[in-house]
Amino acid sequence: MKTHTRVVVIGGGVVGCSVLYHLTKLGWSDVMLIERSDLTSGSTWHAAGGFHTLNGDTNMAALQGYTIRLYRELEEITGMSCGLHHVGGITLADNQARFEMLKAERAKHRYMGLDTEILGPEEIHKLTEGMVNLEGIIGALYDPLDGHLDPSGTTHAYAKAARMGGAEIVLHNRVLETNPTPEGWEVVTEKGTVHCEHLVNAAGLWAREVGAMAGVYLPLLPMAHQYLVTDDIPEIMDILKSGREFPHVMDPGGESYLRQEGRGLCIGFYEKPCEPWSVDQTPWDFGHELLNEQFDKIEDSVNFAYRRFPVLERTGVKRVIHGPFTFAPDGNPLIGPVPGLRNYWSACAVMAGFSQGGGMGLSLAQWMIHGEVERDPRGFDVARFGNWTSPGYTVPKVIENYQMRFSVSYPNEERPAARPFRTTPMYEVFDKMNAVWGQQYGLEVVNYHALPGEPRYEEPTFRRSNAWEATRQEVMAVREGVGINELQNFGKYLVKGPNARAWLDRIMAGAIPKPGRLSLTPMLAHSGKIIGDFTVSCLSETEFQLTASYGAQGWHSRWFEQNPMDGVTVENISDSRSGFTIAGPKARELLARCTRSDVSAEAFRFMDVRKMTVGMANCIVQRVSYTADLGFEIFCDLHSVRHLWDVLNAKGADLGLRPFGMRAMMSLRLDKWFGSWGREFSPDYTPAETGLDRFIRWNKEADWIGKAAATAEKAAGPKRRLVSFVVDAADADVVAWEPIWLDGTVVGFCTSGGFSHWTGKSAAMGFLPADRVRDGLACEIEILGERRKATVHLAPLWDGDGARMRG
């Protein structure tokens, strides 16, 4: 075993071997994998081995498609068999909501290049040889890429391909310590010490324990999962004799998945009475063991399966596989650079290893070698969970996710486990005002305030919900008078020091404002893609406040850490500084009643920022608003928030002051076609594509990050452009990812949408080919499987000249 290497990967499961292979594929040969036992020990060896592309996150779905296509390449490279069976997969819908979800997923696949289709009951009957009881089944989604493989053979194929690329694999060598060094990491093992530049935690069931060696808490939990393998089944044997194979069948209503296994069937369950395993610590001596059979916890699921697949009731069980595998709180992998640690990488909680392992290995290798990922990684980025996560939070969220693995996922759904957890000083006040809560980055955020007599619960739906009227009234309150919304849902950073301006000029692509002013600016990766859209407020030449998405704190803070400058400190003050935004035609009058400072239009211009006293609180007030209306953002320290509320609430009573939530905010911003982080602005897009290039200061002297790529794109022109639409919708509006049709062909997709309550129009934003964009262009947007007429509408729906917002 060598003592020095560029990368050490800890863990020899399918994910660790995939990372190792992709590092060699992308050009790093001085890499090593260390495994405490044999390859596939832990979860990999007892996996059911199924693979599929269906995933609500389009980037995850694309990476799963990459994973599946990779297996043929591995076989060609190594000469080894992965045991591939591309039998196709059928996901059943036993109610209208699930069928609408499948139609929405099929719509996404149209522009992703995935060849899926919606099936009716007759087609399901034909593909499954009549072995599925279709009682109550409305339809299904069919994916020809789905199938299953040999978990052991596939993992060893990854390993052989990595060895062929120069990698070293050391087995039966448990890692005892990981210690940071100036050069990277010291990895102490049973067979000696290895020094490396990069350390990858791909330890699977032991990822928590390995993380703890570096002082890291990774929010994951092993769950005990059970599947059955049947005796030979005559109907399956007949299918085999005809040269065909039985397809995968996922029955979400029955919490089960079914596939052919030899001459029988394999069926697994995501049962409601599930069982966390080794909640506190995974034993080091666990490996190739299975857990005891527990038929009692899957009894209801088995009985349901017997009704859905009657052939099972006539068949004996050959063996029971009951073993643990790991979940993160939201069920997605934990991949990427761990915030706060230099060159420490996470590659764990990949519960669907044979659907996702290849894509996750590729993404991590790209991140390590190129500094960023080809596709937007936020859905699987380890930084999406902050340092506020704890085992007390992780356990109930993982259980909830497991139980709802096959549940319908609605775009407006708020799942209840481990909530409320993190709250602001306004939680009790708004809760007494019938707040209906959502959550962002673990923090409770008001979605809307239920009207008297209405339930304090938004019905999960793909269509317009019971929040409609309450949201409409909140929008009207802003546009006609003055509304108030807490500023807790901003990420906030304090940048200080003699080199603060120089640092901001390098890290931001836009203009850095003069004292007393603020600016809007994109933050770019070296590739020129968007990794943040910020408001920069200049409080003095040596002090700036940055605001951006609250949910992107982990992502943004890590980027700041990775790009330091002497003479600059960056402090995340997201949870220590809060306040309120007030917006509407009476917002200025309300602020004037609460401060002795001059807030007239002449003294306090649009995009000005001032330190002033509001009530008794020392505040930072800036004249800007995401509502596209006359508005002010008033920031104060957390201990002054309740006082600030009391002052504003009392002085605004006769002005009709009304709290509004994020549902109204998202409607209001559409009136001006303001983009939203994670929708219009993300690492999948560039400034020129999205229109953020209008905020770039092209001629500033600083060599800002992403300048070369952005300048090249500016010269060439973007191939697609973000545009806005008015949609002839029925009772369902655009959410995101709906395909855009032009001349009978899918040419783009939507990024977000909703209903503009002020203008009474269904609105959407999305990408079209740049050479097709023109105002008034007629096209169609597919919503829940139905193509609805839409018109490109480039001008704002309201306040087109900005007189209200700037006045």
Q: What is the DSSP string of 256-296?
A: EEEEEETTEEEEEE--SS-EE-SSS---TT-SS--PPP-HH
Could you report the per-residue pLDDT of 150-168, keeping only the tens digit for each? 999 999 999 999 999 999 9
Mean predicted lDDT score pLDDT of the chain: 96
- Chain position carrying tokens 């193509």: 787
Phi and psi of 320, rounded to 5°?
-115, 130
Mean pLDDT, residues 269-273 taken together:
93
Helices and strands (H, E) in the chain, number of each type: 20, 38
Mean pLDDT, residues 50-54 taken together:
85
**Distances from the Cα of 125 to the Cαs of 133, 315, 375, 420, in angstroms?**
9, 20, 38, 45
Q: Is the domain defined by 719-805 classed in CATH 2.40.30.110?
A: yes
- One-letter amino acid at 385 equals F
Mean pLDDT, residues 518-537 taken together:
98
681 forms beta bridges with 677
Could you report the per-residue pLDDT of 195-251, keeping only the tens digit for each? 999 999 999 999 999 999 999 999 999 999 999 999 999 999 999 999 999 999 999
Burial class (CB in 10 A: 0-12, 13-18, 19+), 507: buried
- pLDDT at res. 58: 85
Q: How confident is the model at residue 51 (pLDDT cuts 50, 70, 90)?
A: confident
Pairing of strands 334-337, 745-756: unpaired
CB atoms within 10 A of CB 285: 8
CB atoms within 10 A of CB 136: 12
Q: How confident is the model at residue 287 (pLDDT cuts 50, 70, 90)?
A: confident
Q: Quick check: bond before 659 cis, omega within 30?
A: no
Could you report the per-residue pLDDT of 537-574, keeping only the tens digit for each? 999 999 999 999 999 999 999 999 999 999 999 999 99
657 three-state secondary structure: coil
State how far the Cα of 696 lies from the Cα of 644, in Å rounded to an integer. 35
- pLDDT at res. 115: 86
DSSP 510: B
Answer yes or no: are the C-beta atoms of 124 and 94 closer than 8 Å. Answer: no
Could you report the per-residue pLDDT of 650-684, keeping only the tens digit for each? 999 999 999 999 999 999 999 999 999 999 999 99
Q: How confident is the model at residue 114 (pLDDT cuts 50, 70, 90)?
A: confident
State how far the Cα of 760 lies from the Cα of 476, in Å rounded to an integer. 11
Answer yes or no: are the C-beta atoms of 21 and 161 closer than 8 Å. Answer: yes
State how far the Cα of 380 lies from the Cα of 363, in Å rounded to an integer. 10
Q: What is the DSSP string of 127-160?
A: HTTT-S--TT--EEEEETT-EE--HHHHHHHHHH
Percent of the chain with pLDDT over 70: 100
Q: What share of the chain is helix, strand, coil (3-state, %, to 5)?
A: 30, 30, 40
Mean pLDDT, residues 363-376 taken together:
96
pLDDT over 90 (residue 334): yes
Pairing of strands 89-93, 185-189: unpaired
- pLDDT at res. 237: 94
